[in-house]
DNA sequence: AATGAATGAGATTTCATTCAT
DNA sequence: GATGAATGAAATCTCATTCAT
């Protein structure tokens, strides 16, 4: 992702002060840490303190909290979005690709503590964040869902929006609770998708009903 | 002069004043409404205003916010807990009973706006609420899970805690988002439970575990 | 028994806590002092400190700054407004009544330091204050102007609004500058009103005729 | 063009860098515009932005806000000061000269939005501005007043300081309020100066001093 | 000289909680 | 018991001013 920077051999574009750039990085790290520790609504002053800068500096770089949150997670979101087509290309079936990609999405949410919280917030202040997430990830998820539906592995009628939201919800609080394995529950959800007759119905097929554990 | 504590020997029935009792009921209704409107963190002042009492009265009845939240939802939680055995008795199979009961649990969470939010909060102030919920509902859920596992309909290895938490998470925000149908996703999750090979397994094809993008 | 009941009638109206009432008075005094010292924009925190209360108390009593300013000066404004008809009744001529009333208005502005400043401010936050002043004093001033015009002592075409604003302006800063006598300048302004032919015109009297601007 | 300012590049002597000089002019224009738009307390950043320079540049040229304000209005103040003797030379009487000059002074204040505000401010930061104004204009006004007093057209006892301050005050807010005509009120003030009996006196009628309301 | 990033004091406002009445 | 006034700790955001580049 940082590879983009190498293209400019000269300093043509409006040169940024070195300390400003350092600060931005420091701020993003500090904000990420603060989000983990205090949630997405961590006081600006705390973030500034963690970064060792004044509050004004935070506001200069990120005028709104949403700007900050988006910036904190942009790299990961981008990587996740770009992984979608790769999953499709490499997996044995579209359904496997979907499962794999959802797994990456779960990684994103679980390891970046505040993210799931940010997504669930209905504070209008985070609308921009919601939009960004959906803009970037909905198309990817849609493509995978469509492919899996096209191959007949899953039903066709689950919207990508709903799936993303559900997976996002399942990941809330996962990082702080050792008794809760979000990845496993997401796995159940994805497995549920594969039910031919819909979630509430039992398929009348031999071989799917009789296996009894132990 | 009046009401020295020691004069109690007459053993008057420790009855609460009628108005105090009325207030408690009024307060619970008001709090429930406030939670729906503004979420679980609704200002105490709002709740008092809705109830037509002073804030002091709220604090007298419910010293902490958690006390209030627990009280608000106690009835519903009790009813849900008690429905567990009934489901088991009436359903055709243990798995069906589980599905039915989970459905009731979803009702509880989705219709009582603030509840899912309260459960997801990791504010230590809500620990009491968490405890109450788990104390009351975990055994019920466990029983249902065990029964379904015993009948061979599902795998045995999902903890009731994890299931409740997952379903609770899936219900977050369901009231306010018409594009998100929590009930449907919970259905997928429960359906996933029934998968023969376990949630993490996809149809037996060689190499499918190894698919990695890039 | 009967003795107990007598106090009841006295406490009918919505009882205010004694300290609240005391606080309100203290706050008004503190605000008045702060306005004198730091102008109408004195920090709320300063006002609270002067009054020996917390900032929250200020906001409880006076939600907006304009509320506070209006309250601080309400007594004086009311008294001034009510003096208008009295002036008219007691003075020898309508013009004398006008002059007398304007004098009272100047008293109001000059002795209450911040007032003129508040009136001149074009911060929209003070619109309510402007409105209050105009609502209350414009009609009074109009009546006096009309009477003086009716008696032929002054021209009829000066709007009360303009006169009040002009006098208000002349009073700005008067309390802090010993070299500036607002009362005197207002006197000149009122004297100028009496010119039969309008301010720029010279009455046909010997020795006053030849003035032409530049 | 600013060609007046010696554009000859032949000039060797320790001249200021051309861009610095250009900046100064640009800054003055920008500041004037900002004062009109936002008043004399316009944020430094706004001024810098209007001028297309950094805030540091503003501070380099004008270390204090007062320096900037003085510089912005210096040309006009000089012109006004120099117009005094001219008025006296051209008018038919000293009083007419005074009236004419005051008119020019009003022009200065009314058309240069922020100026009256700057003059009225009692912020010590503007002391330099006050001094500059008085230094430059008081002597001029004094001369005109003295002449008019000498010719018997007005009383001798109004200090130039008081007159300037009064006129200045009358001009406050005149630009933004269509219902308020500062020029007209100043006209009344000047007319009042001509009253034979002095400003405080009303037409000789018995008992008129004693009128009191109530 | 010019730039604009950084600083941090200060202003406003909200609420949970206490406590006088 | 009930009331709601008082409190003051946050939290946000704005700018004047300094200073690294």
> Which pLDDT score, from 0 to 100, does residue A196 have?
55
Of B120, B155, B190, the CB nearest to A199: B190
Same domain for D114 and D131, yes or no, is yes
Asked if the structure places residue B97 within a domain, the reply is: yes
Same domain for C88 and C114, yes or no, is yes
Confidence of residue A30 (pLDDT cuts 50, 70, 90): very high
Asked if the structure places residue A206 within a domain, the reply is: no
Asked if the structure places residue C200 within a domain, the reply is: no
Same domain for C52 and C85, yes or no, is no
Contact of chains A and B by CB distance (3 or more pairs under 8 angstroms): yes
Average pLDDT, chain C: 80
pLDDT at B148 over 80: yes
B31: distance to nearest CA of chain A, Å?
20
Confidence of residue B153 (pLDDT cuts 50, 70, 90): very high
Q: Are A115 and A68 in contact (CB under 8 A)?
A: no
CATH number at residue B51: 1.10.10
Q: Are D132 and D66 in contact (CB under 8 A)?
A: no
> Which pLDDT score, from 0 to 100, does residue A112 have?
72
Q: What does the alpha-carbon distance between residue A68 and residue A56 come to, in Å, rounded to a whole number?
A: 14
Same domain for B48 and B145, yes or no, is no
> Which pLDDT score, from 0 to 100, does residue C137 have?
95
Q: How far is CA A198 from CA A154, B170, D146, in A?
A: 9, 18, 103
Cβ contact, residue pair B166, A170, below 8 Å: yes
Q: Within window 24-63 on D, which residues have Cβ closer than 7 Å to strand F?
A: 41, 43-45, 55-56, 59
Q: What is the DSSP letter of D17?
A: P
> Which pLDDT score, from 0 to 100, does residue B7 have?
43
Q: How far is the CA of A56 from the C1' of F14 (A)?
A: 9
Q: Choose the weakest-confidence range: B114-123, B124-133, C41-50, C148-157.
A: B114-123
If you measure CA to CA, which chain C residue comes closest to D102?
Answer: C213
Cβ contact, residue pair C87, D211, below 8 Å: yes
pLDDT at D138 over 70: yes
pLDDT at A140 over 90: yes
> Which pLDDT score, from 0 to 100, does residue A8 have?
41
The residue whose CA lies nearest the C1' of nucleotide E21 is: C17
Q: How far is CA C118 from CA C128, C140, D200, in A?
A: 11, 20, 27
Cβ contact, residue pair B189, A194, below 8 Å: no
Q: Are A156 and A147 in contact (CB under 8 A)?
A: no
Same domain for B86 and B112, yes or no, is yes
pLDDT at D13 over 70: no
Q: Within window 44-83 on C, which residues have Cβ closer than 7 Å to strand E?
A: 44-46, 55-56, 59, 64-65
Same domain for B182 and B113, yes or no, is yes
Q: Is the CB of D50 within 7 Å of strand E?
A: no
pLDDT digits (tens, 9 = 90+) for B67-106: 898 898 888 899 999 999 999 999 999 999 999 999 999 9
Same domain for C47 and C135, yes or no, is no
Q: How far is CA C208 from CA C202, C204, D95, D110, D201, in A?
A: 6, 7, 10, 29, 19
Q: What does the alpha-carbon distance between residue C187 and residue C171 come to, in Å, rounded to a whole number?
A: 12
Asked if the structure places residue C211 within a domain, the reply is: no
pLDDT at B21 over 50: yes
Asked if the structure places residue C198 within a domain, the reply is: no
Q: How far is CA D41 from CA C134, D30, D213, in A?
A: 27, 13, 42
Confidence of residue A14 (pLDDT cuts 50, 70, 90): very low
> Which pLDDT score, from 0 to 100, does residue B106 have?
94
Q: Are A114 and A127 in contact (CB under 8 A)?
A: no
**Structural domain that includes position C21:** 17-63
Average pLDDT, chain D: 80
Task: Give Cβ neighbours of residue C181 (< 8 Å, ≥ 6 apart).
Answer: C174, D162
pLDDT at C7 over 90: no
- Tell me the mean pLDDT in the region A207-211: 39
> Which pLDDT score, from 0 to 100, does residue D186 have?
96
> Which pLDDT score, from 0 to 100, does residue B121 have?
67
Q: Is the CB of A15 within 7 Å of strand E?
A: no
If you measure CA to CA, which chain B residue comes closest to A157?
Answer: B184
Q: Choose the weakest-confidence range: A186-195, B133-142, D41-50, D124-133.
A: D124-133
Q: How far is the CA of B28 from the C1' of E21 (A)?
A: 27
The residue whose CA lies nearest the C1' of nucleotide F1 is: B20
Cβ contact, residue pair A172, B177, below 8 Å: no
Same domain for D26 and D95, yes or no, is no
Can you state the angle between helices A65-90 and A94-111, rounded to 10 degrees?
150
pLDDT digits (tens, 9 = 90+) for A165-186: 999 999 988 877 899 999 999 9
| Number of domains, chain C | 2
pLDDT at A199 over 60: no
Same domain for D145 and D183, yes or no, is yes
Asked if the structure places residue C36 within a domain, the reply is: yes
Q: Of all helices (H) and strands (E), which one includes residue D167?
A: helix D160-170
Same domain for D114 and D36, yes or no, is no
The residue whose CA lies nearest the C1' of nucleotide E3 is: D54
> Which pLDDT score, from 0 to 100, does residue D196 have?
58
CATH number at residue B146: 1.10.357.10
Asked if the structure places residue C168 within a domain, the reply is: yes
pLDDT digits (tens, 9 = 90+) for C13-45: 444 567 778 888 899 999 988 888 887 888 999
Q: How far is the CA of A60 from the C1' of F15 (A)?
A: 12
Average pLDDT, chain A: 81
Q: What does the alpha-carbon distance between residue D130 and residue D122 come to, in Å, rounded to a whole number?
A: 9
C22: distance to nearest CA of chain D, Å?
30
When comparing pLDDT for A214 and D18, which is higher? D18
Chains that touch B (3 or more CB pairs under 8 A): A
Same domain for C105 and C180, yes or no, is yes
pLDDT at D12 over 50: no
Same domain for B131 and B149, yes or no, is yes
- Tell me the mean pLDDT in the region C52-56: 91
Q: Which range, B31-35, C74-78, C163-167, D173-177, has the best average confidence (pLDDT)? A: C163-167
Long-range contacts of B23-27 (CB under 8 A, 24+ apart): B23/B51, B23/B53, B23/B57, B23/B61, B24/B61, B26/B51, B26/B52, B26/B53, B27/B51, B27/B53, B27/B57, B27/B58, B27/B61, B27/B62, B27/B68
Q: How far is the CA of D214 from the C1' of F3 (A)?
A: 44
Asked if the structure places residue C142 within a domain, the reply is: yes
């Amino acid at each position: 992702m940082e590879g983009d920077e190498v293209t400019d051999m000269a300093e043509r574009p409006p040169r940024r002060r070195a300390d400003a750039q350092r600060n931005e990085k420091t701020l993003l790290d500090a904000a990420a840490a603060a989000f983990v520790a205090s949630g997405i609504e961590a006081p600006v002053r705390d973030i500034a303190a963690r970064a060792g800068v004044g509050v004004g500096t935070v506001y200069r770089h990120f005028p709104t909290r949403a700007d900050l949150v988006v910036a904190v997670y942009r790299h990961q979101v981008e990587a996740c979005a770009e992984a979608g087509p790769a999953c499709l290309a490499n997996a044995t079936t579209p359904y496997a690709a979907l499962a794999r990609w959802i797994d990456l999405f779960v990684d994103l949410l679980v390891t970046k503590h505040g993210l799931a919280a940010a997504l669930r917030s209905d504070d209008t202040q985070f609308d921009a964040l919601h939009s960004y997430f959906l803009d970037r990830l909905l198309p990817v998820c849609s493509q995978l869902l469509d492919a899996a539906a096209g191959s007949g592995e899953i039903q066709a009628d689950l919207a990508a929006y709903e799936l993303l939201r559900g997976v996002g919800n399942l990941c809330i609080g996962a990082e702080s609770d050792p008794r809760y394995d979000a990845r496993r529950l997401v796995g159940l959800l994805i497995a549920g998708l594969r039910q031919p007759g819909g979630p509430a119905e039992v398929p009348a097929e031999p071989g799917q009903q009789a296996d009894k554990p132990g």
